[in-house]
Structure 1
Amino acid sequence: MTENPTGPRRPATALARATALPPWFLIAAGVLVGGLVGGGYGFVEPPAYTATSYVVAVPTEKSDPASALGFATAYGRVATQLAVLGDAQVWAGVPVRTLKQSVRTATSPDAPMVAITATSSRPDLAADMANAVSRALTRHANDAQATTNVELQQFARATRPTEPSSASPAVTGLVGASAGGLLGGLALLVRPRRASEKAGRSASVPGPAVAADVHGQL
């Protein structure tokens, strides 16, 4: 059986071809592929809409603003608990699990206010969920008003958003192109290093003729 002399040389030939590519090729290819992937993701992913309602904690005659600020922080944590979301699901028309995944709250260290934000692929549902949680939280807080001496009032209702809060396909395409270009640049930095390492290893190993000559001298 005769050996195929071209078999072992194929990996080296492929590596030589990859090394011989112009430096800008990897960056251009990364930008192109990243832009296509990012833009495609922007088209496939449905737009997300965000709506926010606000409630404010008001101290009664038996309390003070500092207490109201502290209870506002506590109500911001309670808003996404099952006791509040269980009532909110009736007004929002969605299960508790959806509210748990879609609703977030935020408080301020300077103002006794709670922001309740809901996100959905439907703009009307985003507003309904934010208002439902706001209503349920206000109801639970006022049930304990005799103990806390703090009243929770609605400051602003959530309105139906007119524009999506998620990134557009153009933005996701630009982000993907930037990431692809960065990866291409990193690959460009690694490629010459691997080629030089291989050249160094091949130079350090003596060839068959050199090895035979040394053996003959011995």
Structure 2
Amino acid sequence: MNTYKTHTLFLLWLLLTSLTGFGLYMTWDKGLLQWIVLTDNTRICVVIILAFLLGSGLAGWRSIYLSLQSLYFDQFKRGLRTFNQGQSICNDYLTHCGNTPHESQLMAEVMAEKARGTHQVGWFVTGLMLKLGLLGTVVGFTIMLGSLEGLEQLDISDIKTLMQQMTQGMAVAMNTTLVGLVGSILLSIQLLLLDRHADRLVADTVDFAHRTVKAA
């Protein structure tokens, strides 16, 4: 049984997660992550990080699910076991696909929806992280512009306070944009792997069904 091949997706997700965790540890060890969180008084960075963890958890669960579906498909092809209804999406398609091309196409669409339909939640989280990063940019520049009110009334003693407020606004704008971009890129890589694996599993199943029909 080729378990390494069928569990490649989960191993790739685990590798990406390990590298991401190592990167987070290094930024925490250098104090960069703490600085980003503490300088963001809007707490948008914290929301983005939580969204990334949620999306990564979803990607991890889906990688295990799709890896198991690949294993079930491999076992079905080899005739090693039988499956209950709903246990294997490939088995459901191969045993219940219609006799007409239209029915077979509908069953293939149902299988594809089961294989990658949940990934839309992950892509929504990815887009949400980008939008939160842009929101942080707008809020940061708003803080900077707000600190310039009453500029004509400032004296020398107020310059230091003004500079601190402007620096705080710039930090919010830059940090939220950075965290949103990096988080969305890392999560997009995970979801892209899931989508490609799901598409390949569906394509292999449909191809196997066609070859079986021709052989019969």
Report the TM-score when normalising by structure 2: 0.28
Which protein has the bigger strand share? 1
Report the TM-score when normalising by structure 1: 0.27
Which protein has the bigger helix share? 2
- Larger RCO: Structure 1 or Structure 2 (Cα < 8 Å, ≥ 6 residues apart)? 1
Larger Rg: 1
